[in-house]
């Protein structure tokens, strides 16, 4: 894990593919074109520098790009609301509400929606707290601080238990993902220092 200034390094750009090169489909999720149903090929389109899934019939290029996950640390009277995961992966371990951003919503809308879906808590989204790059996993995790509108919360299909934790009770050994550990560390350390800062982290792992 490190936080560093980013400097563009052209040598890091993957090159050397010829436009006619056909690649194995390893690492690509699509077998058939979602536009016309013909089997797709994996090749570097002209003018591009990475292999893409390309339809030989309708010529649609099916780009695969990173996923954004968005979430919040919900707080009521200094207590932190966490959820015990009811679903794989990491079933039974604790997390803040977080999930994949949906089309048509802002980051703040996504954070509030995920919080309600996973904990039945209604929150006011406050400031941006953590941006966690997991380049090896094609994900960016974005977390906000959030104030609960009331202490109401409850279990959901995604969470077998939802409860408040005092700072000293946070179950550090039973957190679901390294992103959860990171975000809660940012939250707790900032609050102990009486400050709110934005944390930009590169998590060097293939495991979230």
| Cβ-based nearer residue to Zn ion, 61 or 135 | 61
CA-based nearest residue to 118, from 94, 134, 102, 140:
94
Residue 121 neighbours by CB distance under 10 Å: 23
Give min distance, CB of 32 to Zn ion, in A. 8
Q: Is 54 in the site for Zn ion (CB under 5 A)?
A: no
Does 61 help bind Zn ion (rule: CB under 5 A)? no
Identify which of 42, 105, 45 has the alpha carbon closest to the alpha carbon of residue 70. Answer: 105
Q: Is residue 36 at the binding interface for Zn ion, with CB under 5 A as the rule?
A: yes
62 or 79: whose CB is closer to Zn ion? Answer: 62
Q: Which is nearer to Zn ion, 59 or 207 (CB)?
A: 59
Q: Based on the shown chain and the rule CB under 5 A, indicate whether residue 33 belongs to the binding site for Zn ion.
A: yes
Of the pair 35, 106, the CB lying nearest Zn ion is at: 35
Q: Which of 148, 149, 176 is nearest to 69 (CA)?
A: 176
Q: Can you list the pairs that 36-44 forms with residues at least 24 positions away whose Cβ atoms lie under 8 Å?
A: 36/60, 43/19, 44/17, 44/18, 44/19
Check binding of 58 to Zn ion (CB under 5 A): yes
145 contacts 75 by C-beta, under 8 angstroms: yes
Stretch that binds Zn ion, among 58-66, 157-165, 166-174, 197-205 (CB under 5 A): 58-66
Cβ closer to Zn ion: 64 or 160? 64
What are the C-alpha distances in Å from 64 to residues 53, 175, 189? 8, 30, 36
List of residues contacting Zn ion (CB under 5 A): 33, 35-36, 55, 57-58, 60
């Amino acid at each position: 894990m490190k936080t560093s200034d980013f400097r563009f390094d052209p040598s890091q750009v993957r090159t050397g593919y010829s436009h006619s090169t056909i690649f194995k489909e390893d690492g690509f999720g699509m077998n058939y074109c979602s536009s016309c149903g013909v089997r797709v090929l994996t090749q570097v389109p002209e003018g591009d520098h990475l292999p893409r899934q390309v339809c030989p019939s309708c010529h649609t290029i099916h780009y695969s790009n990173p996923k954004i996950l968005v979430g919040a640390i919900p707080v009521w009277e200094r207590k932190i609301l966490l959820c015990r995961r009811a679903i794989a992966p990491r079933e039974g371990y604790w997390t803040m509400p977080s999930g994949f951003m949906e089309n048509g919503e802002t980051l703040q809308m996504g954070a509030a929606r995920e919080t309600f879906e996973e904990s039945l808590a209604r929150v006011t989204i406050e400031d941006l707290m953590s941006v966690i790059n997991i380049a090896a996993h094609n994900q960016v995790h974005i977390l906000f601080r959030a104030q609960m509108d009331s202490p109401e919360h409850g279990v959901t299909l995604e969470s077998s238990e939802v409860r408040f934790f005092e700072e000293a009770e946070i179950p550090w050994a039973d957190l679901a993902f390294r992103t959860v550990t990171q975000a809660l560390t940012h939250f707790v350390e900032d609050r102990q220092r009486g400050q709110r800062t934005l944390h930009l982290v590169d998590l060097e792992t293939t495991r979230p």
